[in-house]
Structure formats: structure tokens, C-alpha cells
Amino acid sequence: MFGLNRKDATLLAIVAALIVFAPFILNPFPAESGWAQFNAGYPDLMQRFVIFGIFAIGFNILFGLTGYLSFGHAAFLGVGSYAAVWMFKLLSMNVIPAIILAVITAGLFALVIGYVSLRRSGIYFSILTLAFAQMSFALAYSVLTPITGGETGLQLALDDPRILDAAAAGGNIPVPSLFGMEMRDSVDLTFGAWVFTFNFGYYFCGLVMLIAFYLSIRIFRSPFGMMLRAVKSNQQRLNYTGLNPRPYTLAAFVISGMYAGLAGGLMASMDPLAGAERMFWTASGEVVLMTILGGVGTLIGPVLGAGMIKYMENIISKINSDILHTWFAFLPDGLEDVVVGLIYPFIGKGWHLTLGIVFMLVVIFLPGGLVQGGQKIAAVFRRRSANAGGAEAEAAKQNPAE
């Protein structure tokens, strides 16, 4: 199907199903219950899941295949965001031209940074990319204020030219749309105590992520993908086999930069403002964490990692001490305070601590990330069912008369 083998087609179908049914899957608890705060099925967060999924898929093409660890990928995301917002300001509120410009700008930016940075490998490459990204951040924050909006960020204004659809704007700042369908449009479906929200923007991002995921499968299975793995494995041999590693790594860098630009463009399409903090080095570090947490070099790993980190960032950080107290209200007073005191550092603003612990556990026990965890669980089940099958066969042998 679509030029994929069976296994990859199944994976694509699973991802498609997850995207389509996410509003249900992420909202398992009734809206009024105490557990509702663990529901992640609201549009804003679901959009972030898929957008960062795209970012991580692209990052994985570079890091997973070639082993070049870029520490400045957020720069491309930021550039994509700025490009998209400028398109909204100047041309039209339609997201298509905005996203196209975001991808192209990020690609060009990646071409320049990659051309310089890829002269070195290993830690020096990481440091070079980090330096470029921090430089971009600093420029966007200060010198380039006319283009980037500086500290306040780049925002839409009523008097923006918007050449194509200025006439349509009334007294309000228009919102991004796809041929008239606004990104913020939502439909609520109430089902007993449950409320499911279907947001147009989310499904648009989901469709884009599905395409991005499909392309990444094709790249992984292509001769180009094989060459990238060869770069990671042994550059010396590649050189002496008549292949130049440089254009291969540069192409991978540009492609993954374009993925980041796509993510940035989508981010601006969901919420039309862009700030320099999107380029900050912590944002670059986050995508590294997502990829490693999910599984470097696997197809679906980065998507899982992105989902996990964004879930923790948004859900765990919302828990506060009052909520903890209601949870542990059944305990005797003194004990309740102790338990709440123990858990408190890990919630709210301390969600980074929880993330750190989860990350450490994954790296130590599952170096292949969440995907490896899934494989281990699957292997246990397979062994168990094989054993069960074996036992039945044994029993059948012993009682042939039956």
C-alpha cells in the first residue's frame, strides 16, 4: 500500500487511527469527575502533540539516521513561525501560503547553517549548531526587532496590509483559516458525562503530520536513508566506496530543518504569534529529549516521545498542592501533609523533575526508548503465548486417543 511493505503500512494505519480518534483516546474521564484534569483531549494540547510530533519526526531523520546530534533545531522552528506570521500579515490569513513559506525559509536557513556546521562532526557539530541557534535567538530578541517583534514577539495587527483579503476584515483581527474554515472552529460532542471536542485546526495538523510521517517512512526505506545509516556506521568506508558523505548529511540536515519549519508554520497557524523564546536552547534540547525518550532511529518513537513530554508538561504542571490535598484527604492529617510534602516537588513547576527521572529511567533501562519498551512487552507476550501453545501441543501428544 502506497509503496510501503506490510509492516510499515500497518504502522501508518495505526498512526492514522491514533490521530483520528485522539479526541476520544485522550479524554477517557468524564468531564465533571476529579480525574478530568488528566484528560488531554482539548484542542490546544492535541495540536501541540502533533506539531511537536512533526518536529521530532524531522529531527529523527537527522539524528536517528546519520547520528549527527543537532542542538539548534529550534532555530528552524522559530524561523518557520516568523515566516508564517509575516505571510499572515502581508498576504492572507490562509494557512497554505504561510506554511509553504515557513518550510522554504527554514530549509534555506538550514542550508546555510548546515553547510558551515557539517564541516565538523560529533561534539563540535553539536556546539556549532547550538551556537547558531543561540545567535539566532539573540538576534531575534534584540537587533532584528523590526522583523521579529523583539521581546513582545511578532503579532498580527488590524492595520496589516493582508493584500489578498484585507477587504474581508471587519473590526477584529482575523484568524488563520483554510479557505474560509477557521482553525479554531470546534464541534463538541456530548456523550453522557463525557465531552469530546473535535477541532478543525487539530485535524488539519493531524493530516499534515500523517503526510510528514509517511514521507519519513519513505525516506527511511529509500537508498538515501540507507546512505545516511552508512554515514552513521562508517564514514571512512563510505569515502573509500566512492561516495561523498557531505551532501548526504547536508541533505538530511536541510530536510529535517524543513520539518522543523513546517512545525513552526503550523504553530503560527494555530496561534498567529511568534516569539524569540521558540528558538531558545531549551526548545532545542526538548526535541532531543523527545527523540531519545521515544526511541532514536525508530519510525514512531519520536511521535511517542513528543506526546509523552507534552502530556507531562501540560498535565503534571497543572497539579497543585490543593489538588494533592484533596487526593490524600483520606489519610490522617499529619500523614497527609508528609505525603503531599514528598510529592509536591514533582508537580506543578517541578514537572521538570518528573521528566528528568522518567528520562533517566528510560535511558538506563530502555536505551532504545519507549519503542524498545513496547517491543519488550510484546516479546514477553509472544513467549508466553508460544509457551502456552507448546503446552497444549504437549498435552495433545500425551492424549492422542481423545
Partner 1 sequence: MGILEVKNVNKRFGGLQALGDVNLSVAENSCHAIIGPNGAGKSTLLNCLVGKLIPDTGSVLFKGESVLGRTPFEINQMGISRVFQTPEIFGDLTVIENMMIPCFARRDGVFALHGIRSVASEGELRDQAEQMLEDVNMLDKRNMHSASMSRGDKRRLEMAMCLVQKPQLLLLDEPTAGMARADTNNTIDLLKEIKDKRNITIAIIEHDMHVVFSLAERITVLAQGTPLVEDTPENIKGHPKVKEAYLGEAA
In whole angstroms, the minimum distance from the beta carbon of 68 to partner 1 comes to: 15
In whole angstroms, the minimum distance from the beta carbon of 225 to partner 1 comes to: 8
Which one of 99-107, 113-121, 223-231, 307-315 is the stretch in contact with partner 1 (CB under 8 A)?
223-231
Q: Give the total of residues touching partner 1 (CB under 8 A).
A: 30
In whole angstroms, the minimum distance from the beta carbon of 57 to partner 1 comes to: 14
Q: Toward partner 1, which CB reaches closer, 7 or 349?
A: 7
Output the CA torsion sign for 58, 304, 370, 77.
positive
Chosen residue from 120, 184, 221, 352 binding partner 1 by CB under 8 A: 221
- Spatial distance between the Cα atoms of 99 and 79, rounded to a whole number of angstroms: 11
In whole angstroms, the minimum distance from the beta carbon of 174 to partner 1 comes to: 37
Burial category of 323 from C-beta neighbours within 10 Å (exposed 0-12, middle 13-18, buried 19 and up):
middle
Q: Toward partner 1, which CB reaches closer, 64 or 176?
A: 64
Pairing of strands 273-274, 181-182: unpaired
> What's CA 134's distance to the chain center, in Å?
21
Q: Toward partner 1, which CB reaches closer, 1 or 396?
A: 1
In whole angstroms, the minimum distance from the beta carbon of 245 to partner 1 comes to: 8
Asked if 330 and 311 count as a contact pair (C-beta separation under 8 A), the reply is no
Q: Which helix (H) or strand (E) holds 374?
A: helix 369-398
- Spatial distance between the Cα atoms of 301 and 368, rounded to a whole number of angstroms: 9
Which one of 29-37, 157-165, 198-206, 220-228 is the stretch in contact with partner 1 (CB under 8 A)?
220-228
In whole angstroms, the minimum distance from the beta carbon of 272 to partner 1 comes to: 32
Q: Toward partner 1, which CB reaches closer, 63 or 196?
A: 63
Nearest to 105 by CA among 215, 280, 265: 265
Site string for partner 1, 143-182 (x = CB under 8 A): ----------------------------------------
In whole angstroms, the minimum distance from the beta carbon of 233 to partner 1 comes to: 4
SS (H, E, C) 259-321: HHHHHHHHHHHHCCEECHHHHCHHHHHHHHHHHHHHCCCCCCHHHHHHHHHHHHHHHHHHCCH
Site string for partner 1, 225-264 (x = CB under 8 A): xxx-xx-xxx-xxxxxxxxx--xx--x---x---------
Pairing of strands 186-191, 194-199: antiparallel
> Bridge partners of 194?
191
The residues binding partner 1 (CB under 8 A) are 3, 5, 215, 218-219, 221-227, 229-230, 232-234, 236-244, 247-248, 251, 255
